[in-house]
Structure 1
Amino acid sequence: MQMSINLNEQLVLVTGGARGLGEHLVRAFLREGARVVINYLHSAEAAAKLAAEAPGRALALQADVTDAVAVQALFAQAHEHFGSPITTVINNALPAFSFNGDARPHAGQLRWEDLNQQLEGVVKGALNTTQAALPGMREAGFGRIVNVGTNLFQNPVVPYHDYTAAKAALLSLTRTLSQDLGPDGITVNMVSGGLLRTTDASAATPEAVFDYIAANTPLRRVTTPAEFADATLFFASSWSRSVTGQNLVVDGGLVKN
Structure 2
Amino acid sequence: MARRRKSGKAGSLALRYLVLGSWALFCVVPIIWFLTIGLRPRTEIVLPQPLYLPTFTLDAWNMIWSSWPMGSYLRNSLIAIFGSVVIDLLLAIPAAYSLARYKYRFREDIGFYILSTRMMAPAVVAIPIFFLFKTFGLLDSVWALMLIYAAMNLSLVTWIVRSYMLDIPPEIEDAARTDGASDLRILVAIIVPMCLPGIITAGVIAVIFAINEFLFTLLIASTQNAYTLSVALANFTGGSDGIIYNAIAMVAFIAFVPVLLLVVAIQKHLSRGLTMGAVKG
Q: TM-score range by the shorter chain?
A: under 0.3
Higher relative contact order (CA 8 A, sep 6+): 2
Higher relative helix content: 2
- TM-score normalised to the size of structure 2? 0.25
The normalised TM-score by structure 1 is: 0.27
Structure whose residues are more often strand by fraction: 1
